[in-house]
Amino acid sequence: MEPVEEQEVLQQARQLLREAPLIDGHNDFAYILRGWFAGTSQAQEQRRYRSIPIGQTDVDRVKKSGLGGQFWSAFVPAPPEEHEPHLHAFLHTVQQIDLIAQVIDSAPDTFEFAYSADSIPRIFGTGKIACLVGIEGLHQIGGSMAALRQLHRLGVRYATLCHDANNEFADSATAQRPRHGGLSPRGSQAIREMNRIGMMIDLSHTSDDCQRQVLALSKTPVIFSHSSCYGLRAHPRNVHDDVLALLKKNNGLIMITFLRELSGIDELSSQKASCSTVVDHIVYAARCTGWEHVGVGSDFDGMLEGPTGLDDVTAFPCLIAEMLRRDISRDQMQMVMGGNLLRVLKDVENYATRQRNDGASVLQDTVLPVWTEAQREMLLAKGAERGLVPAGNSETV
């Protein structure tokens, strides 16, 4: 039985979770479902999502989590670089988004899709969890900006530039060697298009050089959806202090992850990753950037085991309780829980609105010819018979 004092802190944590939405930046539940139900039709039965015998997430456990919002990752592994443009990855991405939508539809009393920053507090106010989608690497768009735009229409609100391997857009933090020296020219184009359409740019998994280049280029705040601090744990996936300083100037957000290998204090230390060390990373990031630039991105179901005290989604109240023990103010905690993410998403949306109002140009895909030259000439001749004039021709008829 827990001591009375511990029970009181947990009660305070749960009360805080009822007052303000905790928005988790990254959860791979959909990929667990894809693997668990692969080759079967079982996933079509709604009850199958409620309780599964593996992983760190299911509908029943989410109901006990205290979450107010969740970014579900439509994760698809990156194929080898030589297999670009990854058309199968795009197909699998659409399937993953469809699976996420099925999970949401299976529990209408628990989940609701959120398509904007303003909808998240409204959904939270109804007692439901606001659901958003992220993709974990631009390999998932098949090299197509048209695909990126359609994923945004389907509810994807952030895109990680790359995953564990380099792609045509960006270098990965964990690739054997860089391919572009950070961001490629095509990657720079993608940044501008993501800014234009209102897609948050996620720098988790990217190389240090890529991060610095994107922070210099992006016109909107960027996020790290599931990363921690290199100053506490020297891991290539963690964020260096100078990048955190640039993130503050960008008005962006680092969402601290629960991954054990990122959440320890030092590789050589005997101290293991725990709920306490995760909060150490939250506090460290806040000291580097200010509390306005820190959030939470668990990466549940992207790991076999969480830190001590944070092993599945039901443990979120323990995280909030540990923050309460640190005498972090309620205003600061509510910023970390979700207020900062709402501000970043709103800023990204507002920039996209201004771009639309200003008539900003769309980054088009290169479309291969579908007609022969003879067919084009025939169509032009028919048009001339109707009195049609090619665009740009000043003649009047």
Catalytic residues: 26, 28, 136, 163, 205, 226, 299
Query: Which of these, 85, 74, 82, lies nearest to 156 by C-alpha position?
Result: 74
Q: What is the DSSP string of 276-309?
A: HHHHHHHHHHHHHH-GGGEEE---BTSSSS-SBT
Contact between 183 and 199 under an 8 Å Cβ cutoff? The reply is no
CA distance 25 to 214: 20
What contacts 279, CB < 8 A, 6 or more positions away? Answer: 319, 322, 323, 326
Q: Are 280 and 265 spatial neighbours (Cβ–Cβ below 8 Å)?
A: yes
Q: Any idea what the Cα angle at residue 356 is, between residues 203 and 115, rounded to 5°?
A: 55
Q: Which of 223, 229, 338 is nearest to 284 (CA)?
A: 229
Whether residue 204 contacts residue 236, with contact meaning beta carbons closer than 8 Å, is answered with no
Cα separation, 165 vs 142, in Å, equals 15
260 close to 307: Cβ distance less than 8 angstroms: yes
Rounded to 5°, angle at Cα 96 from 351 and 300: 85
User: Strand pairing partners for 320?
Assistant: none
Tokens (6 digits) for 171: 């270098």
| Residue 188 CB burial class (10 angstroms; 0-12, 13-18, ≥19) | middle
Supply the angle between the helices 145-153 and 87-106 in degrees, to the nearest 10: 0
- DSSP class per residue in 72-139: EE---PPPPGGGTT-HHHHHHHHHHHHHHHHHHHH-TTTEEE--STTHHHHHHHTTPEEEEEEEE-GG
**DSSP state, residue 365:** P
